[in-house]
């Protein structure tokens, strides 16, 4: 019987075998220890913050000490989350460090030197990125999960700890944001079953939506205006950028740049989109890629040292705006051409071969 079945939640489906094994091994590791540091990736998003705080609440409900550590700022839209005021930028001593949504210590939001000085005895990695890596001592990577918040939810249910309203707020936020408000292909019946359980446990979807989607700083909207006015389209590919001077002009922060790429992929007929943000210092750009359907932008990001998901990925590239744009647009253009050739090939195959 699966962990989730043992503590049945409304509408839950059995967990895959490897998840059951990971969850029970992870619960054993937690039960044997007292203090935990929980962290996630740089420039944290809703899943990074929601799953970290959700896990902190679970650990505390299990009688453990937990400190969530982020060195990067928490975007204002997530300041409502219960426990956010306790997030620390310092790395305390602990029995184990739990990384959520990271493919390495470098991508995490903790200071590498502080991490090494603390010499943690155990490192745990929970991720759902296809580009995830087994960099920790214990690794649980499930690319089918809609959010790391969904994996933490499975852990909560398997632990037998009742879902509190603070856990529910954090995990609902993680799942809501990482499924693009229940729109991405990762959304399934079990995503809604989780959401239902979290709402029944005390979360208020309207309050959460208001905090996240209806509280944008004016600077974020002005920055989006600049990005949209810099938009260029060629066939099924579109791209846009903001320079440091443009970010400065509207008084925007780095967090204000989150989500711009989602607007680009929302344009009818576009299959691949990239948003470039100029970084301070030497000539460098941060890239946010999005795609639709089978076009795999994680593969492109990984090629340039980044990573992510099939339809959403990111990386950093060096060069002038012109150089970086030409390079990445060429990659997206080639991926689109390949896609069209694959479709053509599939449509000319005898139907018996396709079966």
Q: In the complex with ligand 5GP, which residue's Cβ is closer, 153 or 275?
A: 275
Which residue in the set 154, 178, 246, 255 belongs to the binding site for Mn ion (CB under 5 A)? 178
Phi (first) and psi of residue 41, to 5 degrees: -85, 165
Q: Which part of the chain contacts ligand 5GP (CB under 6 A), choosing from 69-77, 155-163, 311-319, 328-336?
A: 311-319
Residue 254 CB, shortest distance to ligand 5GP, in Å, is 11
**Closer CB to ligand 5GP, 75 or 120, in the complex:** 75
User: How many whole angstroms separate alpha carbon 12 and alpha carbon 17?
Assistant: 15
CA-to-CA distance for 52 and 275, rounded, in angstroms?
27
Cα Dmax for the chain: 63
CA distance 308 to 290: 10
| Shortest distance, position 33 Cβ to ligand 5GP, whole Å | 27
Residue 94 vs 132, nearer CB to Mn ion: 132
User: Can residue 246 be called a binding residue for Mn ion (CB under 5 A)?
Assistant: no
- Per the listing, tokens 């609902």 go with 172
Using the rule CB under 6 A, which residue among 167, 226, 261, 317 binds ligand 5GP? 261
Among 64, 220, 309, 310, binds ligand 5GP (CB under 6 A): 309
DSSP string, 21-32: HHHHHHHHHHHT
- Kindly tell me which residue out of 315, 324, 328, 336 binds ligand 5GP, with binding defined by CB under 6 A: 315
Nearer to ligand 5GP, 197 or 310 (CB): 310
Which pair of structure tokens corresponds to residue 187? 């959304």
CB 138 within 8 A of CB 154: no
18 and 89 in contact (C-beta within 8 Å)?
Answer: no
Does residue 103 belong to the site contacting ligand 5GP (CB under 6 A)? yes
Q: Min. distance of Cβ 109 from Mn ion in angstroms? A: 14
Helix H or strand E segment including 51: helix 46-61
Residue closer to ligand 5GP (CB basis): 2 or 191: 191
Least separation in angstroms between residue 40's CB and Mn ion is: 9
**x-marked contacts with Mn ion along 114-143 as a string, rule CB under 5 A:** ------------------------------
Name which of 3 and 44 has its Cβ closer to ligand 5GP.
44
- Dihedral sign for Cα 11, 16, 22, 25, please: positive
Least CB distance to ligand 5GP at residue 143 (A): 11
Assign 36 to helix, strand or coil: strand
Q: How distant, in Å, are the alpha carbons of 54, 118, 263, 346 from that of 125?
A: 16, 17, 31, 39
Provide Rg for the chain, Cα atoms: 21
Q: Which of 235, 227, 128, 140 is nearest to 184 (CA)?
A: 128
197-226 residues in contact with ligand 5GP (CB under 6 A) are none
Judged by beta carbon, residue 4 or residue 129, the one nearer Mn ion is: 129
Residue from 7, 33, 107, 292 touching ligand 5GP (CB under 6 A): that is 107
Tell me how far apart the alpha carbons of residues 66 and 60 are, in angstroms, rounded to a whole number: 7
**3-class DSSP state for residue 214?**
coil
Binding site for Mn ion (CB under 5 A): 47, 101, 178
Binding site for ligand 5GP (CB under 6 A): 41, 101, 103, 107, 131, 261, 288, 306-309, 312-315
């Amino acid at each position: 019987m699966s962990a989730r079945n043992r503590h049945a939640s409304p509408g839950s489906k059995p967990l895959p075998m490897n998840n059951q094994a990971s969850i029970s091994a992870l619960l054993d590791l937690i039960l044997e220890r007292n203090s935990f540091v929980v962290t996630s990736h740089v420039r944290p998003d809703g899943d990074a913050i929601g799953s970290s705080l959700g896990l902190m609440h679970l650990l505390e409900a299990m009688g453990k000490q937990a400190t969530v550590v982020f060195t990067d700022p928490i975007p204002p839209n997530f300041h409502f989350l219960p426990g956010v005021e306790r997030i620390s930028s310092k790395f305390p001593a602990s029995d184990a460090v739990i990384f959520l949504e990271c493919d390495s210590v470098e991508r995490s939001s903790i200071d590498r030197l502080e991490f090494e000085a603390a010499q943690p005895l155990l490192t745990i990695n929970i991720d759902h990125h296809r580009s995830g890596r087994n960099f920790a001592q214990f690794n649980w990577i499930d690319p089918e999960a809609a959010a790391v918040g969904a994996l933490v939810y499975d852990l909560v249910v398997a632990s037998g700890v009742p879902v509190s309203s603070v856990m529910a707020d954090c995990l609902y936020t993680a799942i809501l944001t990482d499924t693009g408000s229940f729109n991405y292909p990762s959304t399934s019946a079990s995503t809604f079953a989780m959401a239902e359980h979290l709402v029944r446990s005390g979360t208020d979807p309207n309050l959460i939506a208001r905090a996240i989607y209806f509280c944008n700083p004016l600077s974020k909207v002005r920055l989006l205006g600049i990005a949209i006015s810099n938009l260029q389209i060629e066939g099924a590919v579109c791209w846009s950028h903001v320079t440091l001077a443009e970010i400065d002009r509207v008084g925007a922060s780095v967090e204000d740049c989150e989500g711009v790429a989602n607007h680009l992929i929302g344009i009818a007929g576009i299959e691949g989109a990239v948003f470039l943000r100029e970084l301070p210092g030497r000539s460098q750009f941060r890239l946010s890629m999005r795609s639709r359907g089978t076009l795999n932008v994680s593969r492109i990001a990984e090629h340039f040292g980044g990573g992510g998901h099939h339809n959403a990925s990111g990386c950093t590239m060096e060069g002038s705006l012109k150089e970086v744009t030409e390079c990445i647009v060429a990659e997206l253009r080639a991926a689109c051409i390949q896609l069209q050739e694959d479709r053509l090939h599939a449509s000319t195959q005898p139907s018996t071969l396709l079966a």
